[in-house]
Amino acid sequence: MNILLIGCGKMGGAMLRQWVRHGEHSFTVADPAADDLPSGVRHVSKATDLPSQAFDVVMIAIKPQAIADVLPDYAHALKEDGTFVSIAAGTSVASLENVVGDAAIVRVMPNMAALVGMGVSGLYANARCTADQTRQIVALIDQTGTCIPVDSEDRIDRLTAVSGSGPGYVFELLRSYVAAAEELGFDHDTARTLVFDTLSGTVEAARQSDQTLEALRNSVTSKNGTTQAGLSALMREGQLDALFQDTLQSAYARAVELK
Ligand SMILES: NC(=O)c1ccc[n+]([C@@H]2O[C@H](COP(=O)([O-])OP(=O)(O)OC[C@H]3O[C@@H](n4cnc5c(N)ncnc54)[C@H](OP(=O)(O)O)[C@@H]3O)[C@@H](O)[C@H]2O)c1
């Protein structure tokens, strides 16, 4: 496919690198600030540099508040049977339709793990998308990690709270875990290795196991041992469950508010 990417910042740039690595599609980036683009990617600074009806996909990766101003200038570049794809948080299909009219529109909620090809994205296609268009975009997003199609925009808002914002929670968890390890006497680099390898190894072990997470936790917790002592503090009065529920509910409420 011939794809136009409008905005190549943190998220658009991370996804572009994965697409270029796969080498299946041609890309043009429209971003006045874009430098250091992967080789083979075309760059334009303004919409008037683009021919009409040249792209199968116009991908919107600018800040949500800029879309109404910027997107109309680029709309002519999409082929008649092309698809608009937006990764903008909190921007509904209805508000995109207000800008580009009645068109095939796909909303994608990616996350920053796309940077290393391990992103997880939700995808919602509006009623104008054909099965073929949806399949093509699912395959495109799969190249950045895992793509999970959903059947309502509300699922996108819920998924935003879980995985879209997820890297923020995990970076903070890592920061706090590493700081606690340093408090126990480890230098920063050793603390990072201990925490990062514990986390990634444990996630992989859980992924490869057919046991429940509760069973796995119990399998490493002997009675009156060190893990039990640590878990008693971590889970005191259900504080961990309450904290995660509050975190996800707050992010979901904000996603709904932003629409
Ligand atoms: N970052 C995330 O974790 C994340 C996760 C999920 C979804 N998203 C969504 O992804 C979108 C982009 O976010 P981001 O974090 O990548 O933001 P970002 O780093 O600020 O990237 C936006 C890019 O668009 C450029 N831009 C500004 N005006 C433009 C114009 N008129 N035409 C073309 N390009 C223009 C910006 O250039 P300047 O810097 O020069 O303004 C910048 O390079 C947002 O809608 C956000 O909601 C982000």
- Binned at pLDDT 50, 70 and 90, residue 48 comes out as confident
Mutate to test the pocket of ligand 1, among 10, 36, 48, 123 (most ligand atoms within 8 A of CB): 10
Instruction: Give tens-digit pLDDT for 139-193.
Output: 999 999 999 999 999 999 999 999 999 999 999 999 999 999 999 999 999 999 9
Distance 185 CA to ligand 1 centre (A): 40
Q: How far, rounded to the nearest angstrom, does the alpha carbon of residue 193 sit from its chain's CA centroid?
A: 25
Of the candidates 57, 53, 48, 62, the residue with the CA atom closest to the CA atom of residue 27: 57
- Binned at pLDDT 50, 70 and 90, residue 45 comes out as confident
Give the closest residue (by CA) to ligand 1 atom 38.
33
pLDDT at 140: 98
Instruction: Give tens-digit pLDDT for 201-222.
Output: 999 999 999 999 999 999 999 9
The binding-site residues of ligand 1, defined as CB within 6 angstroms of any ligand atom, are 6-12, 30-31, 33, 61-64, 66, 70, 87-89, 110-112, 164
Give the closest residue (by CA) to ligand 1 atom 24.
7
Q: With 90 as the cut, is the pLDDT of residue 259 above it?
A: no
Same fold, 2-153 and 166-258: no
Give the closest residue (by CA) to ligand 1 atom 43.
9
Mutate to test the pocket of ligand 1, among 63, 85, 86, 172 (most ligand atoms within 8 A of CB): 63
Across the range 71-88, mean pLDDT stands at 96
pLDDT at 104: 98
DSSP 56-102: EEEEE-S-GGGHHHHHHHHGGGEEEEEEEEE--TT--HHHHHHHH-S
Residue 106: beta bridge partners? 85, 125
- Binned at pLDDT 50, 70 and 90, residue 90 comes out as confident
Q: Which atom of ligand 1 is nearest to the CA of 33?
A: 40
pLDDT at 258: 85
Number of Cβ within 10 Å of residue 92's Cβ equals 18
Please state the domain extents for the chain: 2-153, 166-258
- Binned at pLDDT 50, 70 and 90, residue 92 comes out as very high
Considering the segment(s) 166-258 as one domain, its CATH architecture is: Orthogonal Bundle (1.10)
The fold adopted by the segment(s) 2-153 is Rossmann fold (3.40.50)
pLDDT at 34: 81
Across the range 35-39, mean pLDDT stands at 88
